[in-house]
Amino acid sequence: MPTSSKTLRRMIKILLAVVLGVVLFLGADRPAYAELPYTTYSSDTNDVWIRTPNAFVPKAVWGGLNHPEDLFMTSKDELYVADAGNNRIVQLDLEGRIVRTIPESTDQDPKAKLRKPEGVFVTEEGVIYVADTGSRRVAVFDREGKFAKELLAPSSELLPKTFVYAPLKVVVDQRGYIYLVTKGGYQGLLQLAPDGTFAGFYGANKVPTSWLDSLKRKFFTEEQLKEELSRLPGAVTNVTLDAKKFMFTVNKDLKSGQLKRLNFGGVDLLMNHNFAPWVKPLERFSFQDVHVDSHGVMSVVETAEGKIYQYDKYGQLLFLFGATSVGSEQRLGMFKRMTSIVADSNGTLYIADGELNRIQVMKRTHFGELVHQASYLDNQGKYEEARGLWEEIHRLNGMYDRAYLGIAKAMFKAGENEQAMAYFEQAKDKEGYSESYWQVRMNFLLQYFGTAMTVLTIVLIGFILGQKIIRSRKKPGLTDDQSEASAVNLPQRNSRLAFWARMLAEPWKQMLAMLRHPMNGMYDITASTQVRWRFALFFVVLGFVVIIAGKALVSMLFAAQRFETLNLTTEAMKYFLPWISWIVANYLTGSVMRGEGSFGKVFVVNSYALAPYILFILPIQWLSNALTLQEGIFYTAAHYLIIIWVFILIFVGTQNVHNYNLKEAIGMMSVSVVTFLCLWVFGFILIGLVYQATDFVTGFGQEVWLRVR
C-alpha cells in the first residue's frame, strides 16, 4: 500500500510538471502586454476611436544622455543623437552602444566645439550637419567626424530686421541646399545655398482669413488693422526628409496641415490634411517631430499627452499609443517630454525624451507588422496580395475598419461586386460602395433589360386593351334620384362611418388642392372653419416621423450619419424648436404689422405648407438606393426643389392668413426672419446666463458645505 501511494504521488508530480512545461512553452512567445501603461487605438471613418491590439511594445531604454533633442537614422541603420546637455553628437548602434562622439574628446579645434546642439542631419555620403543652437550656426563635419566648416548667419536685404538666426533643426536636399528650422519659424524654413548664402524662405504657412476679416478691412481704422495684421501664421517647428527626398514639416497651432509634404515648389501634397479631426475648435494641438519610413508611414510624437501617432502615406490614422509620465512615475511606454522619433529598417521606433534623458526603444508586434504590410500593399494597388493580411487582421480585431476596406478593395478588383458592397458598407466607404453598386446594377441591366422591356410592353398593351373592354361593357349608372334614395336607405351605422371618413379625408383633400393651386388652396384653408388644430398638429408630427423614417430609408451614399447613431431627442429638438420659433416670430411680426391672422391660423397654414415634404421625401429617400454618388445631383436637386416648394407655400400662406398684398408679404417675411434670428440669439444668451448662474450657485453651495462640514 505505501509503495502504491508513493507511485501515485510520483505520477501526479510528473503530470503537473508536464502540464506546466506545456503552458510555459506555449506562452513563451506571447509576452503579457496587460501591464502596459497605455492602450492602443485607431479610428474609423467617422473619427470614432477603436481599441486595437498593441501595435508597439517597449523593448529597451538607453540612458547616459543629457537632454537629447534630436535623432537621425541613416539608411544603414546608424543612429545619431543631438545630446544637447553634453554639447555633442553621439552615434549609437541598434543595441544602444556608443560608436563615436562628435566632436571627439581629443579634438582641440575650437570651432569643433558645440554648444547645446538641437538638430542633426547626415547625408548619404556621411557628411554631418549640426544645428549648433547655442553658437547660432550650422557646424559641418566630414564622414570621419572632423570639423569641416561652419555656416553663420547669412546677410541679405531680404531678411526681416526682426529675424533671429538660431538654427534648431537642419536637413539637406540632394542638391546640397540647406533648410533650417529657426526660433520663431513664422517665415517658414530658412533656405541656404551650398555655400551658405541666403536663398529664401520655404514652406511658410499662411494666416487663415475669413469673411469676418474681409469686413474688418473695410470698416477698421489703420490702427485697428495694424493690430489685426500682427497675427502670425503657424510656425514651422520641425522638418525631415523621406526616402524619396520629399520634405515634411511639422507646423504649430494649425487646425489642419499639422504635417505637410512639400514638393520643390513648396506645395503641400497632402492637401492641407487635418491630422487631428477630433480636436475641438478652441483646443490647441501640435506635433513635435515626425519620421517617414520607406513605405511612407509617418510616425509622429505629441508631447503634451505623451502620444505617438502613426499615419499611412495619405494621412489616415493607423495607430495611437503612449502615455504621459506624471510626477515621479516612470514606466516603459510613458514619456515626459518627447523631443524626437525615428525608425530603423525593421520598423522599430526610437523615441528621445528630453526630460527623462533617455531613449525608449519600441518594437513592432505581429499585429502592427500585419497592418503595416497590408497598408503598404494597399497603397501600391496590390489589393489581392493584401487580402490575406487584411483577413488575418480582421480575425484578430473585428472592429478594425481598415481591414473591411482592404478586403472590399480586393473583392472589387476580383469582380466580387456584391460581396464588396457589403464590406464597403461595413467600412463606411461611400466611393467604394458606389463603384461596386454601379457594377452590380450594370450587370443586372445587361442581363434582364431585354426581358424587362418585353414584360413592360406586354403589360402596357394589356392595360390599354383592358381599358377599352371595360368601357365597352360599362353599364349605365344610377340616376341622381336613385342615388339619393339609396343613400336614405343606408343603415345608420354606415352613415356614421361615412361621416367620419369624410372628416378624416377632408384635410388631405385640402392639402392636395393646395398643392394643385397654392393661392386658392391656401385661401380655402385660411377661410375654412373645418380646419382644426388637431389636423395641423398631426401634420407637424407626421413631418418629424417622415424625417426619421427617411433617415432609415436613405442610401448610405447620401446619409449624413448612420441610422443607429441617431439621437431621437436631438433630432426632435432640431425639428420642433426651429418650427415653434418660426411660428412665434411670424405671429408676432404679423401682429405688429397689422396682420389679420390669429396664432391658430398662422400655425395651421405653416403646418399645411409641409405637404411637399410629407408626401414626397420618403419616395426620394427610398429611390436614392438606386443611385450612385455620380448621380447624386438628382437626389440633391430633388431635395432643394422640395425645400423651395415648402418656402413658397409658407410665403403664400403668410400672405393669405394676414391678408397682405405681395409687397407687404415680402416685407413681413423679411422682418419675420430677423425676429426668428433675434429669438435664437436671445435664447442662447439666456441659456448661457442660466448656466453661469447655476454653476455659481452650485460652486457656492459646495464651498459652503465644505466649510460647514
Per-residue model confidence as pLDDT tens digits over 542-557: 999 999 999 999 999 9
Q: Which residues contact 131 (CB under 8 A, 6 or more apart)?
A: 70, 82, 117, 118, 119, 120, 138, 167, 168, 169, 170, 180, 181
Average pLDDT over residues 265-282: 88
Nearest in space to 362 (alpha carbons), one of 58, 706, 65: 58
Question: Which helix (H) or strand (E) is 474 found in, with range?
Answer: none
Residue 687 and residue 50: Cα distance in Å, rounded?
A: 34
Residue 379 and residue 312: Cα distance in Å, rounded?
A: 9
Q: Place 492 in a pLDDT band, splitting at 50, 70 and 90.
A: low
Nearest in space to 648 (alpha carbons), one of 669, 630, 627, 633: 669
Nearest in space to 40 (alpha carbons), one of 27, 29, 56, 28: 56
Residue 82 and residue 377: Cα distance in Å, rounded?
A: 35
Domain parsing of the chain, residue ranges: 34-63+293-364, 367-467, 503-695
CATH of the domain spanning 367-467? 1.25.40.10
The 3-state DSSP class for residue 651 equals: helix
Residue 17 and residue 28: Cα distance in Å, rounded?
A: 16
Supply 207's cell numbers: 494666416
Bridge partners of residue 181, in order along the sequence: 169
pLDDT at 76 over 70: yes
% of the chain at pLDDT higher than 90: 61
Q: Which residue has the higher pLDDT, 448 or 498?
A: 448
Q: Which residue has the higher pLDDT, 364 or 214?
A: 364
Average pLDDT over residues 464-479: 70
- pLDDT given for residue 327 in this prediction: 75
pLDDT tens readout for residues 22-57: 444 444 344 444 478 999 999 987 778 999 999 999
- pLDDT given for residue 486 in this prediction: 47
Contact 361, 349 (CB under 8 A): yes
Residue 669 and residue 582: Cα distance in Å, rounded?
A: 11
Bridge partners of residue 249, in order along the sequence: 239, 260
- pLDDT given for residue 583 in this prediction: 93
pLDDT at 565 over 90: no
CA angle 113, 193, 139 (to 5 degrees): 5
pLDDT at 477 over 80: no
- pLDDT given for residue 691 in this prediction: 82
pLDDT tens readout for residues 154-183: 999 889 888 999 999 999 999 999 999 999
Residue 285 and residue 232: Cα distance in Å, rounded?
A: 17
The single residue listed with the C-alpha cell 520598423 is 347
Average pLDDT over residues 343-355: 96
- Cα dist from 194 to 63, 165, 181, whole Å: 36, 17, 16
Q: Indicate if the alpha-carbon torsion angle 624, 629, 633, 639 is positive or negative.
A: positive
Residue 120 DSSP symbol: E
- pLDDT given for residue 107 in this prediction: 87
Averaging pLDDT over each range in 44-48, 219-223, 480-484, which range is the top one?
A: 44-48
Least confident of 21-25, 356-360, 432-436: 21-25
- pLDDT given for residue 301 in this prediction: 97
- Cis previous bond, 117, omega within 30: no
Amino acid at 430: K
- pLDDT given for residue 24 in this prediction: 42
Question: Which helix (H) or strand (E) is 178 found in, with range?
Answer: strand 178-182
The 3-state DSSP class for residue 644 equals: helix
- pLDDT given for residue 480 in this prediction: 46
Residue 475 DSSP symbol: P
Q: Indicate if the alpha-carbon torsion angle 10, 12, 18, 23 is positive or negative.
A: negative
- pLDDT given for residue 282 in this prediction: 63
pLDDT at 329 over 60: yes
